[in-house]
Amino acid sequence: MEKYYITTAIDYVNGAPHIGHAYEKILTDIIARHYTQRCDDVYFLTGTDEHGIKIQKTAASQGISPKELCDMNSQKFKDAWKALDIDYTKFIRTTDEDHEKIVQKIFDKLLKQGDIYKHSYEGLYCQGCECFLNPKDLTEDGLCPDHLKKPEVVKEENYFFKLTKYKDAIIKYIKSNPTFIVPEFRANEVLNQLEDIQDISVSRAKSNVQWGIDVLSDSEQSIYVWIDALSNYITALGFDTENPSETFKKYWPADVHVIGKDILKFHSIYWPAFLMALDLPLPKHIFAHGWITIDESKMSKSLGNVISPTSVLESFNLEHPDAFRYYMASSAPCGRDGNYSDDDFKEKVNAHLANSMGNLLNRTLSMLVKYFDGEVKPEFKGENPLAKKALGTVQIVKNHFDNFEIAEASQEIISLVDAANKYVQDNAPWTLAKEEKMIECGQVLTNVLDIMCIISALIYPYCPNIAQDMARQLSFDLKTKLDNLTADNIKCGKLISKEDIKPVFLRVDSELADKSVKK
């Protein structure tokens, strides 16, 4: 694998980031970090979507300019991702000058080649969806099914994109590429939507929407959200209709777009059509994740259950975001909805990260110090009965990531931790030491520590800080590629002293955890 290009959806900045935004960014960051363990060149793009009527209205209600609102809220997203250790390569804003110029060129090219045409239209427009809705898609009460608001009747002369021209090609592509849409069951939804697909509006009259990118050849029209927003995936790389950059040539097509299931239609129908019109290859995968509910209820401002991603770190006095990252990433099977609750968060991260994984490392290193002064002797090295399962787990985890099964991969890692814990219990090194079977005792401890190195590598994408603490105590190089992992990682000689053994994760409800933060 020479390169890996991964993107998130760009977040709309008429509000602050919430836990749903964080879920997507955490998933994407974990996938990106995993692939850094498999190839040397990973490009991770995220950013913010900053044009449209909602921005215009929100800014007006706050008495500031749309650009001021965008600057303020875009920074909130950047700050949140920094707090969650989201290690992106580039953060694009659709108000970036280079993005706006390329979008105008893309629009102009599609207009000149006949894929865009001007047309008078009257339809039902949902501000929340940023699109016109088909009457048959509304609820019995005539509401948008996603936003539960009545769409407004809009009559305008706009530019339209010939989506119907590409309908058959998109259907053929989806059917002949079963892994294009992940999870696979979502493909049927998209194929059903394609049956009634119509040409789409790609501009709005300036009389209704001033906050947008101007159409080059028509000063009375603003380029509408989807050509603007979706194009970020290529403009960020330096795409140009005349002379694309070397960066674009290197990374496109994207390996995966990570998005929420609510915007799958735009990414699996509109975006492929735009790319076909531009004669560009399609992304390899579109991964549509589910939603995160709060205590089994959908997030809603009216319910007052919208959670800021950093508030969890603050309320539990977490020094770093690893526990939250792990919990969110393991909260839902591939493409399904997940749930956040404070009680479940505490229970799960304490059980997996503190009691199982952290405690296993801590007590194994403590016994090595107690019985052998922290030294690994050559005679402790031999056949490791855990090796087959550990190296098999590496392959299983890789397979899960190839299918974007991030929660399923985390379960395999914890299963390996459980197997190592069982091995310790079954072989009771403390009893072997008591019986003065010191070589056998040393072998058990060394076998476990060798496997802990593999565990630190596998858990790294989820918990980068915990993994680094583990690797430091094990003198293990976390930069080791997954394909180069072996079950013989611990070097002979002095490994660790008593004062260097530190818990890698304190229980979130422990006094120690609270005190360590207060200090």
List residues with catalytic annotation.
18, 21, 126, 129, 144, 147, 298, 301
Between CA 148 and CA 299 the distance in angstroms is: 14
Strands 152-161 and 292-294: unpaired
Residue 92, helix vs strand vs coil:
strand
306 touches 18 (CB < 8 A): yes
17 touches 309 (CB < 8 A): yes
Angle, helices 387-402/406-427, rounded to nearest 10 degrees: 170
Helix locations, 382-437, DSSP H: 387-402, 406-427, 429-434
The C-alpha angle with vertex 136 and arms to 132 and 138, in degrees rounded to 5, equals 70
Between CA 341 and CA 327 the distance in angstroms is: 10
The closest of 322, 351, 357 to 474, measured between CA atoms, is: 357
Burial level of 362, CB count in 10 A (0-12/13-18/19+)?
middle
Residue 443, helix vs strand vs coil:
helix
Residue 216, helix vs strand vs coil:
coil
Residue 463, helix vs strand vs coil:
coil
Tokens of 225: 């959200």
Q: Phi and psi dihedrals of 423, rounded to 5?
A: -60, -40
Buried b (16+ CB within 10 A) or exposed e, 102-140: bbbbbbeebbeeebbeeeeeebbbbeebbbbbeeeebee
Tokens of 451: 């496997």
Residue given tokens 């979130």 in the structure block: 508
The closest of 181, 168, 178, 197 to 276, measured between CA atoms, is: 168
Residue given tokens 């939250």 in the structure block: 324
Tokens of 41: 């060149």
Question: H/E/C letters for each residue in 119-168?
Answer: EEEEEEEECCCCEEECHHHCCCCCCCCCCCCCCEEEEEEEEEECHHHHHH
Q: Phi and psi dihedrals of 114, rounded to 5?
A: 90, 5
Residue given tokens 């809603």 in the structure block: 300
Residue given tokens 């950013």 in the structure block: 47
